[in-house]
Amino acid sequence: MSDNICPACCSANISQYEKSETITDFFGVERGIRLIEYSCADCGSTGDFFNENDDFIQAALNEIKKNEIVQMLEEFSANKVNFASAERALGLPQRTFAKWKSSDVTPNAAAVSLLKMVYRFPWLVEVADNKYNYLISQKIMIQNAVSSLIHLLSISNIYDSNAITVSDESSEGSLFFNATSGQQLSSGTTNITPSILMKSASPIGAQYANR
Ligand SMILES: [Zn+2]
């Protein structure tokens, strides 16, 4: 970079240093990106003097996207999702998922969004399979919402007859609430009440909410 000069004072007395940033992917995993910045010994300016980092960030985002797609599709396979029937229901060409999984074809942004929706709410495939019929779609959504809610909430009367246990699948354990006051009875990292959960205002509720 000896032929590069400081964009502020035109000094050639600049040095390069590495900087790292993190991007959180769809699965909540933090991915590090190594960026390059410069500092000028004469005027003290620092930053991405030659606009190189946009390319690094874009490359990292593409890599993250590719990994997300492969991981989602591998989980579909592990959960015995039939690719052919899902593709048919969603109106995608045959072997679309296989192509995405093998990274032969990088899906566009709309396709990635579709995949994320279906990953989060697998019953959307059933909605599509029923030609988006309004009443059937509502029924599928409600059935899944209720079963998610039943899964989340289980009545516990071991410690307190009014206590409700909210089991958090994300490994934070069980939280206890007084069913009448909604007051949390034991410690937990997520402060939610059944009523808040119903409104899907919490991260846990949102994960299962159908809006
Ligand atoms: Zn300078």
CA of 17 to the centre of ligand 1 (A): 15
| Cα dihedral 155, 157, 158, 159 sign | positive
Select from 129, 162, 184 the last residue of a domain: 129
- Whether 130 shows a pLDDT value over 90: the answer reads yes
203 plus 184 within the same structural domain: yes
The β-bridge partners of 78 are none
CA of 94 to the centre of ligand 1 (A): 57
Select from 129, 158, 180 the last residue of a domain: 129
DSSP code at position 87? H
Q: Is 77 contained in some domain?
A: yes
Q: Is 59 contained in some domain?
A: no
Q: Is the Cβ–Cβ distance between 75 and 119 less than 8 Å?
A: yes
Q: Is 56 contained in some domain?
A: no
Q: Is 92 contained in some domain?
A: yes
User: How far is the CA of 196 from the CAs of 76, 200, 201, 202, in angstroms?
Assistant: 31, 6, 6, 7
CA of 58 to the centre of ligand 1 (A): 27
Here the CATH number for the domain that contains residue 105 is: 1.10.260
Q: Is 58 contained in some domain?
A: no
**What range does the domain containing 185 cover?**
138-208
Q: Is the Cβ–Cβ distance between 153 and 197 less than 8 Å?
A: yes
Tens-place pLDDT, residues 28-54: 999 899 999 999 999 999 999 999 999
Residues 6+ apart with CB under 8 A from 18: 34, 35, 36, 37
CA of 43 to the centre of ligand 1 (A): 4
What per-residue confidence (pLDDT) applies to 124? 94
Alpha-carbon distance of 166 to 65, in angstroms, equals 33
Q: Is 174 contained in some domain?
A: yes
Q: Is the Cβ–Cβ distance between 63 and 55 less than 8 Å?
A: no
195 plus 160 within the same structural domain: yes
- Whether 127 shows a pLDDT value over 90: the answer reads yes
CA of 38 to the centre of ligand 1 (A): 10
CA of 12 to the centre of ligand 1 (A): 8
Q: Is the Cβ–Cβ distance between 117 and 180 less than 8 Å?
A: no
CA of 52 to the centre of ligand 1 (A): 18
Q: Judging by beta carbons within 10 Å of its beta carbon (0-12, 13-18, 19+), is residue 7 exposed, middle or buried? A: middle
CA of 175 to the centre of ligand 1 (A): 56
Residues 6+ apart with CB under 8 A from 27: 68, 71
115 plus 79 within the same structural domain: yes
Total tally of structural domains belonging to the chain:
3
144 plus 203 within the same structural domain: yes
**pLDDT exceeding 70 applies to what percent of the chain?**
71
Q: Is 88 contained in some domain?
A: yes
- pTM as predicted: 0.62
Q: Is the Cβ–Cβ distance between 173 and 137 less than 8 Å?
A: no
102 plus 145 within the same structural domain: no
What per-residue confidence (pLDDT) applies to 191? 42
Select from 79, 97, 129 the last residue of a domain: 129
CA of 19 to the centre of ligand 1 (A): 19
Q: Is 57 contained in some domain?
A: no
